[in-house]
Structure 1
Amino acid sequence: MPEISEEPTCSFCGKGRRQVRRLIAGPLGVAICDGCVAQCTELVADDAESAPDGAGPVEPDGRPAGARPPRPRPHEIHALLDQYVVGQDQAKRVLSIAVYNHYKRIDTRTASVGRHAAEKDTVELGKSNVLLIGPTGCGKTHLAQTLARALDVPFAMADATALTEAGYVGEDVETMLAALIRAADHDVERAESGIVYLDEIDKIARRSAHPSTTRDVSGEGVQQALLSLLAGRIAEVPLHGGRGRPGDERVALDTSNVLFILGGAFTGLDRIVESRSGGGLGFGVDIRPRQARAPLEVLPADLQHFGLIPEFIGRIPVVSLLEPLDTAALARVLTVPRNALIKQYRRLFAIDGVTLEFTEDAVHAVAEQALLRGTGARAARAILEEVLLDPMYEVPSRADVSTVVITRDTVLAKVDPTLRSRSRPAFWSERHDRSA
């Protein structure tokens, strides 16, 4: 081990502490002065400028060390959504384009920061907020949650039903931005390039299509408060959510580059559209099921008739309609996605060393029952919980059971599932009518 002198010196140039502005000491008596640090920095910079393309350390995917990963293209975002969400191709395309353009807007803004003012782009890229319209259980929130896992930008979700006009019981519209700041690890600059998904937006429709003389604090009042956020303004955000109190810590967040994705069921909007397009009551009306007819085309006037104010509609230029799920689509929801419900329950049984099997007829029976309940994919979990209640209670205590088989009768007639014994090769069952 080298001897450490009483007067430290630079290990590179030999100058003492009194001969330099700053001497940085390291382990084992090694030190370096500020002058040598500056020379080393220049040498490294010169080497970087003169190095040929592709030289230097690289990441495992081949990009230069420290460089930002390539942004996913719309087709790649769409493919990711396909892994988790069944159908709704049009909505996936709309979201893929919106997110990709959001990335490009962020990258353009970042690149402009380091340029001289005279060299900045003269074209500013605006944002196109998105509105997703579809019945409950069709996948609106699931699409947003899937995007949140995949995006390289902060993502926050909020519920419009909790929002009220400032000064009334509830939450201010600014409070939903607190979740965005938390998603960005309290990096405000990064949060300003994030995405907010605001669910149940149809619940803030005003009570009448015409202006009212009474104050609508959770409807039109919230729409008015959201206008400037959607367009872009500097908001004072309470860091800990809620309305905050005088003296609470707040930060200023510019929403000019925050992309807003809004979602809602808009129950009754289809009747408004059909009435406008001549599809109301009377002779010659198209009586085919909704899925068999031509897709609805929602116009701004339809949204205004539903209860959204024109200024609010104008700040959401992209509108995408999600179709209700039919039996075939619900059956795929149960089995195809990476997080499909039946896959989840199979995993729960596998933890106890038991195999869970669903016959094809049983899957379709669950889908049919979910469709009858009218809440889309959400009803499927409730039905599976009912069907699997007894097996999930009994089987963990039964060391003799190796397989649980769910049939159509199990779903529809409340018959106990068929069990396979570990010791007997043939099927045996304790089938009886559970409704008796």
Structure 2
Amino acid sequence: MLDNNKYYTPKEIVAELDKYIIGQNEAKRNVAIALRNRWRRMNSKPEIQKEIMPNNILMIGATGVGKTEIARRLANIADAPFIKVEASKFTEVGYVGRDVESMVRDLSEQSVQMVKTQKKKEVNEKAEQIVEDLLLNALIPPLKSSNTSNSGNNVGFQSSDQELNEKTRERFREKIKNKELEDRKIEIVVDNNSNPGVGLVGGGVDEVSMMNIQEMISGMMPKKQKKRKVTISEARKILMEQESAKLIDMDEVKEEAVFKCENAGIIFIDEIDKIAVGSGGGKGPDVSREGVQRDLLPIVEGSAVNTKYGVIKTDHILFISAGAFHVSKPSDLIPELQGRFPIRVELDSLTKQDFFNILKTPKNALTKQYSALFEAESVSLEFQEDALEEIAEIAFTINSEIENIGARRLHTVMSKLLNDFLFDVPDVITPNSRLSVTKEMVHERLSGLVANKDYSQYIL
């Protein structure tokens, strides 16, 4: 079942998105409602649950305005399987390339990994205890008790050895717990997963059947083990993965993963404008792009897809698509597919103020990223307010007069501004130095970038 405690309210979702994305309030509101509706449907009356279909969203906007970033951050917020695919990577059934059903299989894989990770956390304490014993046995093997009855002196001597061994083991157990021996090398036995592949010959075998056959053959073959000499730190990681996998019930994992995939899964289809007829460019026949749309339709509409974990019904998977639609229009998509994305959101082009806010406000702002890079070299980097305004002005101007690539333009501008300094650290700019970016510095270093904007259109 879906965990109620992990589902944000729409306002909380928007507040989380606001930490990283400037503006685009309508898009944020719509994805927040769509995400919350997953929880609402699962908490509605059982007889109506199947009838409540997700309102799929089509985001329209120029490149770099935040479409993909909204989807990426949504994945972090949602406690749900989430994948991003590019529509341009798919080909019509019968052509060489990825078929559209593969995105559902990828989503099921993501769902299984999510549930498996959660289950491993639940058995973490028990696995840690087992791993601790294995590490201890590798360091100080326990003495094997002897049942042979010998003279009294011999028995006393064995008892003394046993007692000494136990005391030594307890001392080393404490050292293992306190991670005092992490660099010491030990020999451990690990599962050898590098079984040679089995060649399967013959046509007409689809991808899912192939995976199931390989899994079945792999399960029938005896598991091989090998010895490895590694540090205790490395051994801890290897053995934790191995032992926690043994403690979880994979049938339970698969069952829960299929439920999560069907009822909370989200698929983000980027570059959907590239498969719209009329996107032009003379690359590929229109019929192929229409074919991909026709193949997408039943998946978005609701169908059953075979995966290695079972059949996944796509009726309640939320689909969010996005495209710049520079050349084509949303109406160039086939009508049936358009109808499956009833919520349309147009994202705003970025203003000069937006650029300034992007540099200053988000938790992952470029200025904060560059400050962290300099801080790693013990150099303090600061940006004056008017310097940020000048950077925003330059980025906005170049976007307006050459080509609008949205917030990505800031990466170009910031790189041009700071690359020389990054090169000089730590040889010329020594540790414990302080570097302040001023308006004058920005103007001096980036004036050439603005002056040469007329020539950039000729550069391939």
Q: Please give the TM-score of this superposition, normalised by the length of structure 2.
A: 0.59
After superposition, where does 1:243-282 map in structure 2 within 5 Å? Answer: 251-268=310-327
Higher relative contact order (CA 8 A, sep 6+): 2
Pairwise CA distance, 1:349: 1.1
> Is the 1:158–1:196 Cα contact (8 Å) retained in structure 2?
yes
Q: Does 1:198 align with 2:269?
A: yes
* Alpha carbons of structure 1 residues 410 and 169: separation in structure 2 relative to 1, 3 Å: farther
1:336 to 361, 377, 386: 361
> Is the 1:164–1:217 Cα contact (8 Å) retained in structure 2?
no
Aligned amino acid, residue 343 of structure 1: K
Partner residue, 1:227: 297
> Is the 1:215–1:221 Cα contact (8 Å) retained in structure 2?
no
CA distance in 1, matches of 2:3, 2:72: 27
Partner residue, 2:347: 322
Aligned amino acid, residue 377 of structure 1: A
Aligned amino acid, residue 412 of structure 1: H
> Is the 2:386–2:438 Cα contact (8 Å) retained in structure 1?
yes
Partner residue, 1:135: 62
* Number of matched pairs: 293
SS in 2 for 1:399: coil
Aligned amino acid, residue 260 of structure 2: R
For the aligned residues, what is the CA RMSD?
2.5
* Alpha carbons of structure 1 residues 259 and 218: separation in structure 2 relative to 1, 3 Å: same
Pairwise CA distance, 1:400: 5.8
Q: Which has the higher helix share?
A: 2
CA offset digits 1:230-285 (Å, max 9, x no partner): 11101234xxxxxxxxxxx574221111000001111156xxxxxxxxxxxxxxxx
Partner residue, 2:442: 411
After superposition, where does 1:148-163 map in structure 2 within 5 Å? Answer: 148-163=75-90
Aligned amino acid, residue 271 of structure 2: E
2:259 to 189, 212, 232: 189
Q: Does 1:396 align with 2:426?
A: yes
Partner residue, 1:26: none
Pairwise CA distance, 1:68: 4.1
SS in 1 for 2:391: helix
CA offset digits 1:176-198 (Å, max 9, x no partner): 22331222125223212210111
> Is the 2:378–2:432 Cα contact (8 Å) retained in structure 1?
no
Partner residue, 1:74: 10
* Alpha carbons of structure 1 residues 92 and 340: separation in structure 2 relative to 1, 3 Å: same
* Alpha carbons of structure 1 residues 208 and 78: separation in structure 2 relative to 1, 3 Å: closer
> Is the 1:133–1:266 Cα contact (8 Å) retained in structure 2?
yes
SS in 1 for 2:101: helix
Aligned amino acid, residue 71 of structure 1: Y
Pairwise CA distance, 1:199: 0.7
Q: Does 1:380 align with 2:451?
A: no
> Is the 1:201–1:263 Cα contact (8 Å) retained in structure 2?
yes
* Alpha carbons of structure 1 residues 101 and 68: separation in structure 2 relative to 1, 3 Å: closer
SS in 1 for 2:363: coil
* Alpha carbons of structure 1 residues 359 and 311: separation in structure 2 relative to 1, 3 Å: same
> Is the 1:395–1:401 Cα contact (8 Å) retained in structure 2?
no
Pairwise CA distance, 1:393: 1.4
Pairwise CA distance, 1:350: 1.3
Aligned amino acid, residue 311 of structure 1: E
Aligned amino acid, residue 262 of structure 1: S
Partner residue, 1:434: none
> Is the 2:4–2:39 Cα contact (8 Å) retained in structure 1?
no
Structure 2, unaligned runs of 5 or more: 114-256, 448-460
* Alpha carbons of structure 1 residues 178 and 400: separation in structure 2 relative to 1, 3 Å: same
CA distance in 2, matches of 1:208, 1:365: 36
1:367 to 381, 392, 398: 392
> Is the 2:269–2:320 Cα contact (8 Å) retained in structure 1?
yes
Once superposed, which parts of structure 1, at least 4 consecutive aligned residues long, lie more than 4 Å away? none
Pairwise CA distance, 1:122: 7.9
SS in 2 for 1:69: helix
Q: Please give the TM-score of this superposition, normalised by the length of structure 1.
A: 0.63
Aligned amino acid, residue 442 of structure 2: V
Aligned amino acid, residue 379 of structure 1: R
CA offset digits 1:115-143 (Å, max 9, x no partner): xxxxx348721111000111111001111
1:84 to 2, 13, 20: 20
SS in 2 for 1:137: coil
SS in 2 for 1:124: coil
CA distance in 2, matches of 1:229, 1:315: 10
Aligned amino acid, residue 303 of structure 1: P
> Is the 1:236–1:252 Cα contact (8 Å) retained in structure 2?
yes
* Alpha carbons of structure 1 residues 369 and 182: separation in structure 2 relative to 1, 3 Å: farther
> Is the 1:156–1:195 Cα contact (8 Å) retained in structure 2?
yes
CA offset digits 1:175-226 (Å, max 9, x no partner): 12233122212522321221011111111101389xxxx9635421111111
Q: Which moved more, 1:351-360 or 1:219-228?
A: 351-360
Partner residue, 2:98: 171
Aligned amino acid, residue 340 of structure 1: A
* Alpha carbons of structure 1 residues 220 and 394: separation in structure 2 relative to 1, 3 Å: same
CA distance in 1, matches of 2:315, 2:49: 17
Partner residue, 1:63: none
Aligned amino acid, residue 334 of structure 2: I
SS in 1 for 2:76: helix
CA distance in 1, matches of 2:3, 2:298: 35
Q: Does 1:303 align with 2:239?
A: no
